[in-house]
Amino acid sequence: MSELKPSLMDYTQKELTELIKPSFRVKQIYGWLYHNYASSYEDMKNIPKALKEELSQKYLVNPLTIKHKEKSSDGTIKYLLELQDGKTMEAVWLKMKDELIDESGNVYQEAKYTICVSTQVGCKVGCTFCLTAKGGFTRDLSAGEIVAQVVTLKKDNEHKHNRKLNIVYMGMGEPLDNLANLAKAIQIFKEEEGLAIGGKRQTVSTSGLSTKIDKLGEMDLGVHIAISLHAVDDELRSELIPMNKAHNINSIIEAVKRFPIDTRKRVMFEYLVIKDKNDDLGSAKKLVKLLTDIKAKVNLIFFNPYPGTEYKRPSRSDMVAFQEYLIKHGLLCTIRDSKGIDISAACGQLKEKTEQDELERETL
């Protein structure tokens, strides 16, 4: 395969200043990319034709196209995005809070949104509960391909550049397995003349690569971290997440303790609850003990079944009992409401379904 052409979104504003002359054009281009969501050079009305022709030979504008999307009744939109090499991955638009309007018709609370982005095509971790793992690992996403997910979804939802939203690196792939491109994307998102999404609005979710948690911490990017824990003993965690054999629970807990966080914030621990695997009160008791010395928040997540999985969704009553035990014993704990349950909710499910549909059409 020939080398992929880089995108303008692969570069920070400073880097573009070194690549594009005169430098004042960079500010204009940045505005077109991140304020107007330009998808082609033709969109950039005040950029000279000669410069656009020169740039088009070297750089793409937006490296992604929307191949397919599904919208849930709760406002969640799941996107299948196609890359320039024909590979696909997913991103999700999540409505976290509704817009509220008073009796006079004035908006007193804007709707709040989060975008869940992918960092890889596929994944190396191989979690047994994850549909993404079935397809194996294909490649890392570039910084620009990570950034373009947010630009593409904001444009598609007519979300103005100066309206705030949150980013979670919780889609396809293990973010810390693509640390260099992840870190650069975080920096590009933070650019004041771009999307201006600060570190406090960005959360990196990791399955627990303890050594790379340390490396991310050393970069001091100001982001939050979330740990996909899912089990309270190494035996079960190694079944669910095979790489736990190299990065066991203790090594993850120690890395989290070293991670620089805002003292006002808590470290999020994601706990995917699977019926008859980790939904009992004995597991809840062990979780309390495990997180004793950490300012933690536990987010309980219903397992979303998909065709072919052996795992089952827990009952709401067991979820509530688990939550109540944690709260009673001093842990802040929430139950994440399942988003997009009426569409391809599980990560990787839209990609899998679309590819299967295409294969069936080809064999007709």
Tell me how far apart the alpha carbons of residues 129 and 273 are, in angstroms, rounded to a whole number: 11
Q: Could you please report the per-residue DSSP string of 114-179? A: EEEE-SEEE-SS--TT-SGGGG-EEEEPPHHHHHHHHHHHHHHTT--TTS--EEEE-SSS-GGGGH
Q: Are 309 and 272 in contact (CB under 8 A)?
A: no
Identify the pLDDT of residue 363.
47
Domains contained in the chain, CATH given = 8-58 (1.10.150.530), 65-363 (3.20.20.70)
Identify the pLDDT of residue 95.
92
Tell me how far apart the alpha carbons of residues 166 and 164 are, in angstroms, rounded to a whole number: 7
Identify the pLDDT of residue 137.
94
Known catalytic residues are 90, 347
Identify the pLDDT of residue 341.
66
Quick: pLDDT tens for 40-52: 999 999 999 999 9
Identify the pLDDT of residue 98.
81
Binding residues for [4Fe-4S] cluster, as ranges, are 123, 127, 130
Chunk the chain into consecutive blocks of 10 residues (it has 364) and report each block's average pLDDT, rounded to whole numbers. Answer: 86 97 95 97 96 97 97 93 97 89 79 96 92 87 98 97 95 97 98 96 96 96 96 96 95 96 86 96 97 95 90 95 97 83 60 54 50
Binding residues, as ranges, are 123, 127, 130, 173-174, 205, 228-230, 304
**Phi-psi category of 105—alpha, beta or left, where left has phi over 0 and alpha has psi -120 to 50?**
left
Identify the pLDDT of residue 180.
98
- The amino acid sitting at 248 is N
Nearest one of 112, 99, 8 to 58, comparing CA atoms: 8
Binding residues for S-adenosyl-L-methionine, as ranges, are 173-174, 205, 228-230, 304
Identify the pLDDT of residue 359.
47
Identify the pLDDT of residue 351.
57
User: pTM for this one?
Assistant: 0.90
- Token pair recorded at residue 286: 């062990």
Omega prior to 242 cis, within 30 of 0: no
